[in-house]
Amino acid sequence: MDALGVEEKPVLAQVENGVGRLTLNRPQALNALTTAMCRDMAHTLSQWATDDRVRYVVLDHNGRAFCAGGDVRAAARSGRGDGEAARDFFRTEYRLNTLIKRFPKPFVALIDGVTMGGGVGISVHGSHRVSNENTLFAMPETGIGLFPDVGGGWFLPRMTGETGTWLALTGERLKGADVRAAGISTHHVAASDLPALKAELLAGPERHPKSGNRFSDSMARPNEFIDNILHRYDRPVGEPSYTEHLEAINRIFGKATLADIAIALKLEDSDWAQHQGEVLATRSPFSMSVTLRHLREGRRLETFEQVMEMEFRIASRLCQSHDFLEGVRAVLEDKDHSPHWLPQSIGCVSAHSVEALFQPLPRELYD
Ligand code: QUE
Protein backbone atom coordinates (compact mmCIF):
# COMPACT_ATOMS: atom_id res chain seq x y z
CA MET A 1 0.00 0.00 0.00
CA ASP A 2 1.23 3.51 -0.67
CA ALA A 3 0.62 6.56 1.55
CA LEU A 4 -2.93 6.93 0.24
CA GLY A 5 -3.77 3.30 0.94
CA VAL A 6 -3.73 2.36 -2.74
CA GLU A 7 -2.60 -1.20 -3.42
CA GLU A 8 0.70 -1.13 -5.34
CA LYS A 9 1.04 -3.60 -8.19
CA PRO A 10 3.90 -6.08 -7.57
CA VAL A 11 4.91 -5.91 -11.26
CA LEU A 12 4.57 -2.74 -13.35
CA ALA A 13 4.21 -3.07 -17.11
CA GLN A 14 4.25 -0.31 -19.72
CA VAL A 15 4.91 0.15 -23.42
CA GLU A 16 6.58 3.39 -24.49
CA ASN A 17 8.86 4.38 -27.39
CA GLY A 18 8.76 0.84 -28.78
CA VAL A 19 10.01 -0.61 -25.49
CA GLY A 20 8.14 -2.98 -23.18
CA ARG A 21 9.21 -2.31 -19.60
CA LEU A 22 8.60 -4.71 -16.73
CA THR A 23 9.49 -3.44 -13.26
CA LEU A 24 9.57 -5.72 -10.21
CA ASN A 25 7.80 -3.72 -7.52
CA ARG A 26 7.70 -5.67 -4.28
CA PRO A 27 10.76 -4.07 -2.67
CA GLN A 28 9.78 -4.78 0.94
CA ALA A 29 10.09 -8.53 0.14
CA LEU A 30 13.27 -8.02 -1.93
CA ASN A 31 11.04 -8.56 -5.00
CA ALA A 32 10.66 -12.27 -4.19
CA LEU A 33 8.36 -13.77 -6.84
CA THR A 34 4.80 -14.78 -6.00
CA THR A 35 2.58 -16.94 -8.22
CA ALA A 36 0.58 -13.84 -9.18
CA MET A 37 3.76 -11.96 -10.23
CA CYS A 38 4.92 -14.87 -12.40
CA ARG A 39 1.48 -15.25 -13.96
CA ASP A 40 1.29 -11.52 -14.61
CA MET A 41 4.71 -11.35 -16.26
CA ALA A 42 4.02 -14.47 -18.35
CA HIS A 43 0.72 -12.99 -19.55
CA THR A 44 2.34 -9.66 -20.46
CA LEU A 45 5.34 -11.28 -22.21
CA SER A 46 3.20 -13.62 -24.29
CA GLN A 47 1.27 -10.58 -25.56
CA TRP A 48 4.42 -8.53 -26.19
CA ALA A 49 5.97 -11.39 -28.16
CA THR A 50 3.66 -10.57 -31.09
CA ASP A 51 2.88 -6.91 -30.35
CA ASP A 52 4.52 -4.73 -33.04
CA ARG A 53 4.65 -1.78 -30.64
CA VAL A 54 7.22 -3.75 -28.61
CA ARG A 55 10.66 -4.08 -30.23
CA TYR A 56 12.40 -5.31 -27.10
CA VAL A 57 11.83 -5.76 -23.35
CA VAL A 58 13.65 -4.17 -20.42
CA LEU A 59 13.30 -5.81 -16.99
CA ASP A 60 14.25 -3.66 -14.01
CA HIS A 61 13.22 -3.31 -10.37
CA ASN A 62 12.31 -0.92 -7.59
CA GLY A 63 14.22 -1.12 -4.30
CA ARG A 64 17.68 -2.36 -3.42
CA ALA A 65 17.39 -6.01 -4.55
CA PHE A 66 16.72 -7.12 -8.12
CA CYS A 67 15.01 -10.31 -6.92
CA ALA A 68 15.89 -12.49 -3.90
CA GLY A 69 14.12 -15.59 -5.19
CA GLY A 70 10.68 -17.13 -5.06
CA ASP A 71 8.09 -16.81 -2.33
CA VAL A 72 9.34 -20.04 -0.75
CA ARG A 73 7.62 -19.32 2.55
CA ALA A 74 4.25 -19.57 0.80
CA ALA A 75 5.43 -22.72 -0.99
CA ALA A 76 6.38 -24.28 2.36
CA ARG A 77 3.01 -23.35 3.88
CA SER A 78 1.35 -25.20 1.00
CA GLY A 79 3.82 -28.09 1.25
CA ARG A 80 2.78 -28.66 4.87
CA GLY A 81 -0.67 -29.44 3.43
CA ASP A 82 -1.54 -30.90 0.03
CA GLY A 83 1.18 -28.96 -1.88
CA GLU A 84 -1.26 -27.86 -4.59
CA ALA A 85 -0.48 -24.12 -4.27
CA ALA A 86 3.27 -24.87 -4.24
CA ARG A 87 2.98 -26.89 -7.46
CA ASP A 88 0.92 -24.09 -8.98
CA PHE A 89 3.75 -21.68 -8.08
CA PHE A 90 6.52 -23.81 -9.60
CA ARG A 91 4.44 -24.55 -12.73
CA THR A 92 3.80 -20.82 -13.26
CA GLU A 93 7.38 -19.79 -12.50
CA TYR A 94 8.91 -22.41 -14.84
CA ARG A 95 6.53 -21.40 -17.65
CA LEU A 96 7.78 -17.83 -17.22
CA ASN A 97 11.42 -19.01 -17.33
CA THR A 98 10.65 -20.85 -20.60
CA LEU A 99 8.88 -17.83 -22.11
CA ILE A 100 11.98 -15.71 -21.41
CA LYS A 101 14.31 -18.38 -22.82
CA ARG A 102 12.20 -18.55 -26.02
CA PHE A 103 11.30 -14.84 -26.24
CA PRO A 104 11.53 -13.84 -29.92
CA LYS A 105 12.81 -10.29 -29.23
CA PRO A 106 15.73 -8.94 -27.21
CA PHE A 107 15.14 -9.22 -23.46
CA VAL A 108 17.39 -6.97 -21.34
CA ALA A 109 17.54 -7.72 -17.60
CA LEU A 110 19.22 -5.09 -15.42
CA ILE A 111 20.47 -7.24 -12.54
CA ASP A 112 21.39 -4.47 -10.13
CA GLY A 113 21.73 -5.87 -6.58
CA VAL A 114 20.74 -9.23 -5.07
CA THR A 115 19.87 -11.73 -7.84
CA MET A 116 19.27 -15.14 -6.34
CA GLY A 117 17.27 -18.28 -7.11
CA GLY A 118 14.03 -17.18 -8.80
CA GLY A 119 15.66 -13.83 -9.67
CA VAL A 120 18.28 -15.70 -11.66
CA GLY A 121 15.52 -17.61 -13.48
CA ILE A 122 13.87 -14.42 -14.81
CA SER A 123 17.17 -12.92 -16.00
CA VAL A 124 19.83 -15.47 -16.98
CA HIS A 125 17.72 -16.98 -19.80
CA GLY A 126 17.17 -13.59 -21.46
CA SER A 127 19.30 -12.47 -24.42
CA HIS A 128 20.99 -9.57 -22.53
CA ARG A 129 21.91 -9.45 -18.79
CA VAL A 130 23.58 -6.35 -17.41
CA SER A 131 25.48 -6.59 -14.11
CA ASN A 132 27.32 -3.91 -12.13
CA GLU A 133 29.49 -3.82 -9.00
CA ASN A 134 26.38 -4.17 -6.80
CA THR A 135 25.20 -7.40 -8.43
CA LEU A 136 25.16 -10.35 -6.03
CA PHE A 137 24.39 -13.69 -7.68
CA ALA A 138 23.69 -17.03 -5.98
CA MET A 139 21.73 -20.26 -6.32
CA PRO A 140 21.36 -20.84 -2.54
CA GLU A 141 18.64 -23.51 -2.60
CA THR A 142 20.58 -26.42 -1.07
CA GLY A 143 20.65 -24.28 2.11
CA ILE A 144 16.85 -24.51 2.43
CA GLY A 145 16.39 -28.12 1.33
CA LEU A 146 15.44 -27.19 -2.22
CA PHE A 147 17.49 -27.52 -5.44
CA PRO A 148 18.77 -24.96 -8.01
CA ASP A 149 15.68 -24.87 -10.23
CA VAL A 150 14.34 -22.09 -12.55
CA GLY A 151 16.47 -23.57 -15.33
CA GLY A 152 19.53 -24.20 -13.15
CA GLY A 153 19.60 -27.66 -14.72
CA TRP A 154 20.19 -25.90 -18.04
CA PHE A 155 22.64 -23.04 -17.39
CA LEU A 156 24.70 -24.43 -14.49
CA PRO A 157 26.08 -27.53 -16.30
CA ARG A 158 26.78 -25.30 -19.34
CA MET A 159 29.12 -23.00 -17.43
CA THR A 160 32.90 -23.46 -17.78
CA GLY A 161 34.07 -26.83 -16.44
CA GLU A 162 32.47 -27.64 -13.10
CA THR A 163 31.89 -24.01 -12.04
CA GLY A 164 28.11 -24.55 -12.06
CA THR A 165 28.33 -27.69 -9.94
CA TRP A 166 30.43 -25.82 -7.38
CA LEU A 167 28.00 -22.85 -7.28
CA ALA A 168 24.96 -25.15 -7.07
CA LEU A 169 26.18 -27.43 -4.28
CA THR A 170 27.74 -24.74 -2.06
CA GLY A 171 25.38 -21.85 -2.90
CA GLU A 172 28.51 -19.67 -3.21
CA ARG A 173 27.81 -16.03 -4.10
CA LEU A 174 29.40 -14.24 -7.04
CA LYS A 175 29.85 -10.48 -6.80
CA GLY A 176 30.08 -7.75 -9.41
CA ALA A 177 32.64 -8.43 -12.14
CA ASP A 178 32.72 -12.15 -11.24
CA VAL A 179 29.09 -12.37 -12.41
CA ARG A 180 30.26 -11.21 -15.85
CA ALA A 181 33.46 -13.27 -15.87
CA ALA A 182 31.40 -16.40 -15.11
CA GLY A 183 29.07 -15.63 -18.03
CA ILE A 184 25.98 -15.09 -15.88
CA SER A 185 25.76 -11.55 -17.27
CA THR A 186 26.55 -10.57 -20.87
CA HIS A 187 27.57 -6.97 -20.08
CA HIS A 188 29.07 -5.27 -17.03
CA VAL A 189 28.62 -1.55 -16.35
CA ALA A 190 29.41 0.95 -13.59
CA ALA A 191 26.45 1.40 -11.23
CA SER A 192 26.93 5.17 -11.61
CA ASP A 193 26.27 4.76 -15.37
CA LEU A 194 23.05 2.83 -14.83
CA PRO A 195 20.64 5.83 -14.88
CA ALA A 196 22.03 7.05 -18.22
CA LEU A 197 22.07 3.54 -19.68
CA LYS A 198 18.50 2.93 -18.56
CA ALA A 199 17.39 6.25 -20.03
CA GLU A 200 18.88 5.32 -23.42
CA LEU A 201 17.33 1.86 -23.38
CA LEU A 202 13.91 3.25 -22.45
CA ALA A 203 14.06 6.14 -24.93
CA GLY A 204 14.13 3.60 -27.75
CA PRO A 205 15.13 4.58 -31.27
CA GLU A 206 14.44 7.89 -32.94
CA ARG A 207 11.44 7.82 -35.20
CA HIS A 208 11.75 8.82 -38.83
CA PRO A 209 9.90 12.15 -39.14
CA LYS A 210 8.76 11.25 -42.67
CA SER A 211 7.45 7.82 -41.91
CA GLY A 212 5.10 9.03 -39.21
CA ASN A 213 4.81 6.49 -36.46
CA ARG A 214 7.08 3.92 -38.07
CA PHE A 215 10.32 3.04 -36.37
CA SER A 216 13.66 4.09 -37.82
CA ASP A 217 15.97 1.62 -39.56
CA SER A 218 17.93 1.02 -36.36
CA MET A 219 14.81 -0.37 -34.81
CA ALA A 220 14.31 -2.81 -37.64
CA ARG A 221 17.25 -4.57 -35.99
CA PRO A 222 16.62 -4.12 -32.27
CA ASN A 223 19.53 -6.42 -31.42
CA GLU A 224 22.01 -4.09 -33.14
CA PHE A 225 20.41 -1.09 -31.49
CA ILE A 226 20.74 -2.61 -28.01
CA ASP A 227 24.20 -4.09 -28.59
CA ASN A 228 25.40 -0.65 -29.66
CA ILE A 229 24.09 0.99 -26.47
CA LEU A 230 25.38 -1.75 -24.16
CA HIS A 231 28.76 -1.82 -25.89
CA ARG A 232 29.30 1.86 -25.06
CA TYR A 233 28.67 1.28 -21.34
CA ASP A 234 30.35 -2.13 -21.06
CA ARG A 235 33.41 -2.21 -18.78
CA PRO A 236 36.12 -4.83 -19.24
CA VAL A 237 36.33 -7.48 -16.54
CA GLY A 238 39.46 -9.54 -16.02
CA GLU A 239 39.80 -13.10 -14.84
CA PRO A 240 37.30 -14.13 -12.14
CA SER A 241 38.55 -13.84 -8.55
CA TYR A 242 38.22 -17.65 -8.18
CA THR A 243 40.58 -18.38 -11.12
CA GLU A 244 43.25 -19.74 -8.76
CA HIS A 245 40.72 -22.39 -7.61
CA LEU A 246 39.43 -23.41 -11.06
CA GLU A 247 41.71 -26.41 -11.39
CA ALA A 248 40.53 -27.73 -7.99
CA ILE A 249 36.89 -26.88 -8.81
CA ASN A 250 37.02 -28.89 -12.04
CA ARG A 251 38.88 -31.80 -10.50
CA ILE A 252 36.88 -32.06 -7.25
CA PHE A 253 33.36 -31.02 -8.30
CA GLY A 254 33.68 -33.25 -11.36
CA LYS A 255 33.68 -36.40 -9.20
CA ALA A 256 30.92 -38.93 -9.77
CA THR A 257 29.19 -38.82 -6.40
CA LEU A 258 28.53 -36.30 -3.65
CA ALA A 259 30.47 -38.49 -1.20
CA ASP A 260 33.49 -38.45 -3.53
CA ILE A 261 33.29 -34.64 -3.71
CA ALA A 262 33.06 -34.26 0.08
CA ILE A 263 35.99 -36.64 0.65
CA ALA A 264 38.13 -34.96 -2.02
CA LEU A 265 37.55 -31.56 -0.36
CA LYS A 266 38.63 -33.00 3.02
CA LEU A 267 41.79 -34.53 1.53
CA GLU A 268 42.76 -31.38 -0.40
CA ASP A 269 45.55 -29.44 1.28
CA SER A 270 44.16 -25.91 0.98
CA ASP A 271 42.21 -23.49 3.20
CA TRP A 272 39.85 -22.85 0.31
CA ALA A 273 38.94 -26.55 -0.03
CA GLN A 274 38.55 -26.90 3.75
CA HIS A 275 36.15 -23.96 3.71
CA GLN A 276 34.13 -25.43 0.81
CA GLY A 277 33.86 -28.69 2.76
CA GLU A 278 32.62 -26.80 5.83
CA VAL A 279 29.99 -25.04 3.71
CA LEU A 280 28.77 -28.37 2.25
CA ALA A 281 28.46 -29.71 5.80
CA THR A 282 25.77 -27.05 6.50
CA ARG A 283 23.69 -27.81 3.36
CA SER A 284 20.95 -30.43 3.06
CA PRO A 285 22.57 -33.79 2.16
CA PHE A 286 19.41 -34.88 0.37
CA SER A 287 19.18 -31.59 -1.60
CA MET A 288 22.83 -31.81 -2.62
CA SER A 289 22.36 -35.41 -3.84
CA VAL A 290 19.31 -34.36 -5.86
CA THR A 291 21.20 -31.33 -7.19
CA LEU A 292 24.19 -33.34 -8.41
CA ARG A 293 21.94 -35.83 -10.20
CA HIS A 294 19.86 -32.93 -11.63
CA LEU A 295 22.92 -31.14 -13.07
CA ARG A 296 24.39 -34.30 -14.58
CA GLU A 297 21.05 -35.11 -16.21
CA GLY A 298 20.58 -31.48 -17.31
CA ARG A 299 23.95 -31.53 -19.08
CA ARG A 300 22.76 -34.49 -21.16
CA LEU A 301 19.29 -33.16 -22.08
CA GLU A 302 18.94 -31.43 -25.43
CA THR A 303 16.22 -28.86 -24.88
CA PHE A 304 15.40 -26.30 -22.21
CA GLU A 305 11.85 -27.65 -22.10
CA GLN A 306 13.11 -31.14 -21.19
CA VAL A 307 15.07 -29.64 -18.30
CA MET A 308 12.04 -27.70 -17.07
CA GLU A 309 9.91 -30.84 -17.12
CA MET A 310 12.55 -32.60 -15.04
CA GLU A 311 12.61 -29.67 -12.62
CA PHE A 312 8.82 -29.72 -12.27
CA ARG A 313 8.90 -33.42 -11.41
CA ILE A 314 11.49 -32.74 -8.70
CA ALA A 315 9.89 -29.56 -7.28
CA SER A 316 6.40 -31.12 -7.19
CA ARG A 317 7.71 -33.70 -4.74
CA LEU A 318 10.41 -31.74 -2.93
CA CYS A 319 7.89 -29.04 -1.86
CA GLN A 320 6.40 -31.55 0.60
CA SER A 321 9.69 -33.03 1.76
CA HIS A 322 11.10 -32.86 5.26
CA ASP A 323 14.25 -30.90 4.37
CA PHE A 324 12.44 -28.18 2.43
CA LEU A 325 9.92 -27.52 5.22
CA GLU A 326 12.73 -27.64 7.79
CA GLY A 327 15.03 -25.43 5.71
CA VAL A 328 12.41 -22.71 5.28
CA ARG A 329 11.64 -22.89 9.00
CA ALA A 330 15.29 -22.56 10.04
CA VAL A 331 16.45 -19.95 7.50
CA LEU A 332 13.39 -17.83 6.67
CA GLU A 333 10.87 -18.33 9.51
CA ASP A 334 12.56 -18.95 12.89
CA LYS A 335 15.90 -17.69 11.50
CA ASP A 336 17.87 -19.92 13.91
CA HIS A 337 19.89 -21.09 10.87
CA SER A 338 20.18 -24.56 12.47
CA PRO A 339 18.16 -26.88 10.26
CA HIS A 340 17.97 -30.55 11.30
CA TRP A 341 18.41 -32.33 8.00
CA LEU A 342 17.14 -35.88 7.37
CA PRO A 343 19.19 -37.83 6.70
CA GLN A 344 21.87 -35.96 8.60
CA SER A 345 24.87 -37.04 6.55
CA ILE A 346 25.78 -37.49 2.91
CA GLY A 347 26.54 -41.21 3.31
CA CYS A 348 23.00 -41.93 4.50
CA VAL A 349 21.12 -40.55 1.45
CA SER A 350 19.64 -43.51 -0.43
CA ALA A 351 20.01 -43.53 -4.20
CA HIS A 352 16.47 -44.84 -4.41
CA SER A 353 14.98 -41.83 -2.56
CA VAL A 354 16.80 -39.46 -4.96
CA GLU A 355 15.75 -41.44 -8.03
CA ALA A 356 12.10 -41.33 -6.96
CA LEU A 357 11.98 -37.52 -7.47
CA PHE A 358 12.87 -37.85 -11.17
CA GLN A 359 10.08 -40.26 -12.10
CA PRO A 360 7.24 -39.09 -14.37
CA LEU A 361 4.30 -37.45 -12.60
CA PRO A 362 0.68 -38.47 -12.88
CA ARG A 363 -0.69 -36.62 -15.94
CA GLU A 364 -3.14 -34.47 -13.96
CA LEU A 365 -0.33 -32.68 -12.12
CA TYR A 366 0.95 -30.95 -15.28
CA ASP A 367 -2.00 -28.63 -15.80
C1 QUE B 1 17.42 -20.02 -0.42
C2 QUE B 1 16.39 -19.57 -1.22
C3 QUE B 1 15.72 -18.37 -0.93
C4 QUE B 1 16.12 -17.63 0.18
C5 QUE B 1 17.16 -18.09 0.99
C6 QUE B 1 17.79 -19.28 0.68
C7 QUE B 1 14.63 -17.87 -1.72
C8 QUE B 1 14.00 -16.64 -1.31
C9 QUE B 1 14.46 -15.95 -0.18
C10 QUE B 1 13.88 -14.73 0.32
C11 QUE B 1 14.66 -13.76 0.91
C12 QUE B 1 14.12 -12.59 1.41
C13 QUE B 1 12.76 -12.35 1.32
C14 QUE B 1 11.96 -13.32 0.72
C15 QUE B 1 12.52 -14.49 0.23
O16 QUE B 1 15.51 -16.45 0.53
O17 QUE B 1 14.24 -18.48 -2.75
O18 QUE B 1 10.64 -13.08 0.64
O19 QUE B 1 12.18 -11.19 1.79
O20 QUE B 1 12.97 -16.15 -2.01
O21 QUE B 1 18.80 -19.74 1.46
O22 QUE B 1 16.00 -20.29 -2.30
Instruction: Give the C-alpha separation, 267 to 66, whole Å.
Output: 38
Would you please indicate which residues are annotated as catalytic (active-site) residues? 70, 118, 141, 149
In a domain? residue 44: yes
pLDDT of residue 213: 53
In a domain? residue 6: no
Helical axes 222-233 vs 194-203, angle rounded to 10°: 170
Q: Do residues 261 and 250 lie in contact, with contact meaning Cβ atoms separated by under 8 Å? A: no
Model pTM? Answer: 0.95
Instruction: Give the C-alpha separation, 17 to 9, whole Å.
Output: 22
The CA R_g of the chain, rounded to the nearest whole Å, is 21
pLDDT of residue 363: 75
Distances (CA, A) of 272 to 98, 266, 278, 283: 36, 11, 10, 17
pLDDT of residue 39: 98
In a domain? residue 53: yes
Cα 195 to averaged position of ligand 1 atoms, centre (Å): 27
In a domain? residue 4: no
| Cβ(70) – ligand 1 distance below 6 Å | yes
Give, for all 367 residues of the chain, the pLDDT tens digit: 556 655 689 999 999 999 999 999 999 999 999 999 999 999 999 999 999 999 999 999 999 999 999 999 999 999 999 999 999 999 999 999 999 999 999 999 999 999 999 999 999 999 999 999 999 999 999 999 999 999 999 999 999 999 999 999 999 999 999 999 999 999 999 999 999 999 999 999 766 555 555 555 667 788 999 999 999 999 999 999 999 999 999 999 999 999 999 999 999 999 999 999 999 999 999 999 999 999 999 999 999 999 999 999 999 999 999 999 999 999 999 999 999 999 999 999 999 999 999 999 987 776 6
Ligand 1 atom closest to 140 (CA): 1
In a domain? residue 217: yes
Instruction: Give the C-alpha separation, 143 to 138, whole Å.
Output: 11
- The answer to whether the peptide bond before residue 222 is cis (omega within 30 degrees of 0) is no
Nearest to 282 by CA among 354, 345, 348: 345
In a domain? residue 182: yes
Cα 173 to averaged position of ligand 1 atoms, centre (Å): 14
Ligand 1 atom closest to 171 (CA): 21
Side-chain half-sphere exposure of 210, counting CA atoms within 13 A: 1
Q: What is the tally of structural domains in the chain? A: 1
Q: Do residues 82 and 35 lie in contact, with contact meaning Cβ atoms separated by under 8 Å? A: no
Residue 20 sits in a domain of what CATH number? Answer: 3.90.226.10
In a domain? residue 328: yes
pLDDT of residue 364: 72
In a domain? residue 245: yes
pLDDT of residue 126: 98
Where in the sequence is the domain holding 266, given as residue range(s)? 11-366
Instruction: Give the C-alpha separation, 273 to 282, whole Å.
Output: 15
| Cβ(68) – ligand 1 distance below 6 Å | yes
